[in-house]
């Protein structure tokens, strides 16, 4: 998962991109980068860390970073916040990635994961291409410059015709921008308008951040060109939609509209459906912050069990799921129980998903240490049994507890008095789209493309 942002023809392009990236920070926390254009040259700056760490002004080094933002001149910009699923987490893999070919610069910001990257890279290297990163994204740029086509959109089309997997991306040159989405539409990308300028963002919450107006989603298979003449969808690679259902479960911000669905609303509905499928006799419902809170509210509504805000989250600790290392230490730093609310109560603990179960085991223990009489865990998505190859970091099947253990065994492993999951059918029926329009591979192993 990553967050991408673009703005074409606005006098404050770099600052707006910087602000837009704040809205997308939840999608990637490893590195931040912005590239701008003044119509002649691309100006680039990238750093490891959060947007606020890369572009700040509170100390000597940070003052230099602020100068870096001011040096990003021009009226067009793209930005990226990274969460690595392919390639190491280091500065050379930070995006946007830029290459120069025959005097022309191309810069790309990509969200997704290419499934045939290794083969494509091997073929390109056999034919003389020299890579400067080990990220899958760079392959797209090399395929573009191999294309004999002259126009940017035609080069992009040639490149994307050869790659497989998940990609929502923005490519810019000194005077044009192209947005594209894979034919399945795994990852979201939306088009908006700010004043007279077009903006693009992984999620609509970034538009709210900059007071831009949402226009529409980029369509699976679409290549959208933006230049001084306006915006135009130029090519379509038709395929069936397979939007990532996990965006609804966990990744997208609750104030975003993703694939035409309000995230807070769908998560509440998951919780309502979970309560219908798996009722329990309890005194209070507690949501695991932040992404379990909406389902907990839905569960409380249907079950008529009081919702209690009994876990306080420290917002200064990064989301554990998204960190490349250090998972085991982060739970206690991040979540603090409110003992008075928990003591002597039978608790329903609602969370959005169970990946490895380490976190849940600690939260259940936390509840019991606080004097909970019983802890019943309810998960507002089905058991995750398969890894994702489309941009979410669940690298091996072995790491997924539900791939090898039954629900009963997981319940014992986490120390809960009961454990139940939302059914896949129940989850899909909560959406307003045709149920066939979603990728559900991590729950059922049905991969749309490999
Ligand atoms: S495998 Fe799961 S996480 Fe990956 S795209 Fe499909 S639904 Fe989303």
pLDDT tens, per residue, the chain with 450 residues: 799 999 999 999 999 999 999 999 999 999 999 999 999 999 999 999 999 888 875 556 666 777 778 899 999 999 999 987 767 778 889 999 999 999 999 999 999 999 999 999 999 999 999 999 999 999 999 999 999 999 999 999 999 999 999 999 999 999 999 999 999 999 999 999 999 999 999 999 999 999 999 999 999 999 999 999 999 998 888 778 999 999 999 999 999 999 999 999 999 999 999 999 999 999 999 999 988 999 999 999 999 999 999 999 887 765 544 555 544 456 778 899 999 999 999 999 999 999 988 899 999 999 999 999 999 999 999 999 999 999 887 768 888 999 999 999 999 999 999 999 999 999 999 998 888 999 999 999 999 988
How far is ligand 1, taken at its centre, from the CA of residue 442, in Å? 5
| DSSP string for residues in 190-220 | EEEEETTEEEEESSTHHHHHHTPEEEEEPPT
Strand, helix or coil at 170?
strand
How far is ligand 1, taken at its centre, from the CA of residue 386, in Å? 9
In this prediction the pTM is 0.92
Question: Which residue has a Cα nearest atom 4 of ligand 1?
Answer: 388
Ligand 1 atom at minimum distance from 394 CA: 3
Query: Environment class of residue 105 by beta-carbon count within 10 Å: exposed (0-12), middle (13-18) or buried (19+)?
Result: middle
Return residue ranges of the chain for CATH 3.60.20.10: 3-239
Question: Contact at 8 Å (CB) between 149 and 155?
Answer: yes
How far is ligand 1, taken at its centre, from the CA of residue 223, in Å? 23
Cα 152 from chain centroid (whole Å) = 27
Sign (positive or negative) of CA dihedral 438, 443, 447, 450: positive
Q: What secondary structure letter does DSSP report for 251? A: I
Q: Ligand 1, residues 259, 384, 440, 450: which to mutate, most atoms within 8 A of Cβ? A: 440
How far is ligand 1, taken at its centre, from the CA of residue 305, in Å? 32
Question: Which residue has a Cα nearest atom 2 of ligand 1?
Answer: 442
Q: Ligand 1, residues 164, 165, 168, 186: which to mutate, most atoms within 8 A of Cβ? A: 186
Pocket of ligand 1 (CB under 6 A): 186, 244-246, 388, 390, 392, 439-442
Report pLDDT for 432: 85
How far is ligand 1, taken at its centre, from the CA of residue 265, in Å? 20
Contacting residues for 153 by C-beta, under 8 A, at least 6 apart: 178, 223, 225, 234, 235
How far is ligand 1, taken at its centre, from the CA of residue 121, in Å? 24
71 HSE (CA, 13 A, CB side): 11
Q: Work out the number of other CB atoms within 10 angstroms of the CB of residue 215.
A: 13
At how many degrees (to 10) do helices 358-369 and 327-334 cross? 40
Ligand 1 atom at minimum distance from 438 CA: 7
| DSSP string for residues in 86-152 | SS-SSGGG-SSEEEEETTEEEEEEEEEEETTHHHHHHHHHHTT---S--STHHHHHHHHHH----SH
Ligand 1 atom at minimum distance from 391 CA: 4
Q: What secondary structure letter does DSSP report for 357? A: S
Q: Ligand 1, residues 245, 443, 444: which to mutate, most atoms within 8 A of Cβ? A: 245
Indicate the CATH number of 3-239 among 3.60.20.10, 3.40.50.920, 3.40.50.720, 3.10.310.30: 3.60.20.10
Q: Ligand 1, residues 441, 443, 448: which to mutate, most atoms within 8 A of Cβ? A: 441
CA 415/CA 423 separation, integer angstroms:
22
Overall CATH class of domain 262-444 = alpha beta
At how many degrees (to 10) do helices 152-160 and 137-146 cross? 120
How far is ligand 1, taken at its centre, from the CA of residue 446, in Å? 10
Ligand 1 atom at minimum distance from 440 CA: 7
Question: Contact at 8 Å (CB) between 86 and 135?
Answer: yes
Report pLDDT for 315: 76
- Known catalytic residues are 2
Report how far apart, in Å, the C-alpha atoms of 386 and of each of 302, 353, 420 are: 30, 13, 18
Question: Which residue has a Cα nearest atom 5 of ligand 1?
Answer: 244
Report pLDDT for 320: 46
CA 146/CA 143 separation, integer angstroms:
5
Radius of gyration of the chain (CA): 22
Which two tokens mark 143? 């395929």
Query: Environment class of residue 396 by beta-carbon count within 10 Å: exposed (0-12), middle (13-18) or buried (19+)?
Result: exposed
Ligand 1 atom at minimum distance from 187 CA: 5
How far is ligand 1, taken at its centre, from the CA of residue 262, in Å? 19
Return residue ranges of the chain for CATH 3.40.50.2020: 262-444
Backbone angles phi, psi at 442, to 5 degrees: -70, -15
Ligand 1 atom at minimum distance from 389 CA: 4
């Amino acid at each position: 998962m990553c967050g991408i942002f673009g703005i074409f023809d606005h006098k404050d392009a770099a600052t707006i991109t910087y602000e837009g990236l704040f809205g997308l920070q939840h999608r990637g926390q490893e590195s931040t980068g912005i590239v701008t254009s003044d119509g002649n040259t691309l100006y680039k700056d990238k750093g490891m860390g959060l947007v606020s760490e890369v572009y700040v002004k509170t100390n000597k080094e940070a003052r230099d970073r602020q100068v870096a933002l001011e040096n990003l001149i021009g009226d067009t910009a793209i930005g990226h916040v990274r969460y690595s699923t392919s390639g190491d987490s280091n500065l050379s893999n930070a995006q946007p990635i830029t290459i120069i070919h025959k005097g022309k610069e191309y810069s790309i910001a990509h969200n997704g994961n290419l499934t045939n990257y290794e083969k494509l890279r091997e073929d390109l290297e056999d034919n003389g291409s020299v890579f400067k990163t080990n990220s899958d994204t760079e392959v797209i740029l090399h395929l573009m410059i191999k294309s004999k086509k002259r126009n940017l959109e035609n080069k992009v089309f040639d490149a994307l015709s050869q790659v497989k997997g998940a990609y929502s991306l923005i490519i810019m040159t000194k005077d044009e921008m192209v947005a594209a989405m894979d034919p399945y539409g795994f990852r979201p990308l939306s088009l908006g308008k700010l004043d007279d300028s077009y903006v693009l963002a992984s999620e609509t919450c970034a538009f709210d951040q900059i007071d831009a107006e949402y226009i529409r989603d980029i369509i699976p298979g679409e290549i959208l060109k933006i230049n001084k003449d306006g915006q135009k969808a130029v090519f379509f690679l038709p395929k069936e939609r397979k939007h990532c259902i996990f965006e609804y479960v966990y990744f997208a911000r609750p104030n975003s509209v993703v694939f035409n669905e309000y995230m807070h609303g769908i998560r509440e509905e998951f919780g309502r459906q979970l309560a219908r499928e798996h009722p329990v006799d309890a005194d209070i419902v507690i949501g695991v912050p932040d992404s379990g809170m909406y389902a907990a509210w839905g569960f409380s509504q249907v079950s008529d069990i009081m919702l209690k805000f009994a876990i306080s989250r420290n917002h200064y600790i990064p989301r554990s799921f998204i960190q490349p290392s250090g998972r085991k230490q982060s739970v206690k730093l991040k979540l603090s129980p409110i003992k008075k609310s928990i003591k002597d109560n039978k608790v329903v603990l609602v969370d959005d998903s169970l990946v490895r179960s380490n976190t849940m085991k600690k939260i259940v223990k936390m509840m019991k240490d606080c004097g909970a009489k019983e802890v019943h865990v309810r998960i507002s998505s089905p058991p995750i049994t398969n890894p994702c190859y489309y941009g979410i970091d669940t690298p091996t099947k072995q790491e997924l507890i539900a791939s090898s253990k039954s629900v009963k065994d997981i319940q014992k492993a986490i120390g809960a008095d009961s454990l139940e999951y939302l059914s896949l059918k129940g989850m899909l029926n909560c959406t307003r789209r045709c149920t066939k329009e979603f990728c559900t591979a991590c729950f059922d192993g049905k991969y749309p493309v490999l």
